[in-house]
Amino acid sequence: MNTTSIKIEEGRVTIRPVAGNVWLTQHEIADLFGVFISAIGSNIRSILKSEILQEDAVCRHRENGKGSILTLYNLEMITALAFRLKSRQAQYFREWITEQALNPVILWKIPGMNAMLN
């Protein structure tokens, strides 16, 4: 997977969707938010068990070419996790999500770029 589909650097969040969404593994989400993989796994299980999100809507399975299956999670799950985790990066992501919800979004389509500029 491409770990650059979401970046949090110096308090700024950049999202580069692929085919209209972002899909990351638990390891990539842990790296993104600066937490342990076990924190990601336990929070995902809790979110799915409570039926806040439905597994078939937020998860995708893909073979990695080495004989094992990767489980990927979309932006909806990543956002839910950000509100359950305590880290500086998760805080930046929550602030960014809130800002996006409160400010009108003006999208500029720039030929040759696959990113939303805000």
pLDDT tens per residue, the chain (118 residues)?
A: 444 589 999 889 998 888 888 999 999 999 999 999 999 999 999 999 999 999 999 999 999 888 899 999 999 999 999 999 999 999 999 999 998 888 776 666 666 666 555 5
Residue 14, in any domain of the structure: yes
Instruction: Look at the chain and report how many structural domains it folds into.
Output: 1
CA 43-80-116 angle, to 5 degrees, is 140
Residue 72, in any domain of the structure: yes
Residue 112, in any domain of the structure: no
Structural domain including 55 reads 6-102
Query: The pTM is what?
Result: 0.81
Residue 110, in any domain of the structure: no
Residue from 61, 44, 62 nearest 53 by CA: 44
